[in-house]
Amino acid sequence: MCLKESSTAKYIVQQYMAAIGGQQALNLVQSLCAIGQVKMNASEFHQGDETVKTRNKEETGGFVLWQKNPNLWCLELLVSGCKVISGSNGKISWRHSSNQLRPVTKGPPRPLRRFLQGLDPRSTGDLFLQAVCIGEKIINDEECFILKLDTSQSDLEAHANPKYEIIHHTIWGYFSQRSGLLVKFEDSRLLSVNGDNGDGIFWETSTESVIEDYRYVKGVNIAHSGKTSVTIFRYGEHSSNHKRELEEKWKIEEVHFNVLGLNNDFFMPPSEFT
């Protein structure tokens, strides 16, 4: 039975790190490049009690990801003719879309968890070392331990800016008792955004990822496929409620470690972000 103690979480993380290939194998990985496919599907848009009909079509595309550490990464995603570039250079993070004239977001450095859940086991292990074990659950016929981590108030304040405040950010990891591997990842975040008229608007984002198809690449056990479901809910005292659901399936085709020439300058943001 899982005890609600941080020491139990540390033992589970140790088992996970061993299942991934061990610290010795991970120490040999200084950088990576991953190439893969992605399929995305968006649900109908719910506004208040009404459902707004949208084009409910599966979009396909591909991505290339470069990474050196949790806060040093760059992702290029091309889906149905729209190119999105996002990244973090250790000082700021950014996101830019080809169908918008101005940058979408700019903020403090942050890890990219969507694709790195199965690609960067070192970051996953470091993340859940601070978690607590809250129970057990069966996921896809696998008995799993559940680790939960609530982001500290100081970290929430560090990632806020004058336009928004992070109310809470919680993650859960489901680790197989049989293999020790991470098989599911959940993320819940609530933001308070200052509206144009001074009213507070809340954005609640819930993400659920199932991680599958682990294969060894140069001694490191890497997840090669997964499915992520995202629910975005907006509400406020003087605004109508909006809800949107997205689903994303990804598949890794190639993984390369220790990419030659991948220095820190490679992760510099575009000129409009500096």
115 φ, ψ to 5°?
A: -95, -20
pLDDT in tens, 245-268: 889 899 999 999 999 888 888 888
- Alpha-carbon distance of 214 to 174, in angstroms, equals 15
211/124 Cα distance (integer angstroms): 13
Distance of CA 141 to the CA centre of its chain: 24
What distances in angstroms separate CA 181 from CA 7, 118, 205, 212, 221, one per listed residue?
18, 10, 25, 10, 9
pLDDT at 123: 84
Q: What are 207's two structure tokens?
A: 């993400």
- Amino acid 12: pLDDT: 95
The helix or strand, by DSSP H or E, that contains position 14, with its residue range, turns out to be: helix 6-20
Does residue 237 sit in helix, strand or coil? coil
Q: Domain 6-55+62-273 falls in which CATH fold?
A: outer membrane lipoprotein receptor (LolB), chain A (2.50.20)
Domain ranges of the chain: 6-55+62-273
d(CA 111, CA 121): 13
Report the chain's C-alpha Rg in angstroms. Answer: 19
DSSP 8-state assignment for residue 265: G
pTM, two decimals, is: 0.85
- The H-assigned helical ranges of 95-243 are 113-116, 121-128, 153-158
Could you report the per-residue pLDDT of 89-113, keeping only the tens digit for each? 888 888 888 776 655 567 777 766 6
Tens-binned pLDDT, residue by residue, of the chain (274 aa): 555 566 889 999 999 999 999 989 988 999 999 999 999 887 655 555 555 555 557 889 999 999 987 788 999 999 888 888 888 888 888 888 877 665 556 777 776 666 556 778 888 888 898 899 999 999 989 999 999 999 888 777 776 666 778 888 999 999 999 999 999 999 998 988 876 555 678 889 999 999 999 999 999 999 999 999 999 988 876 666 788 888 989 999 999 999 988 888 888 887 766 5
Name the burial class of residue 120, with classes exposed (0-12), middle (13-18) and buried (19+) by CB atoms within 10 angstroms of its CB: buried
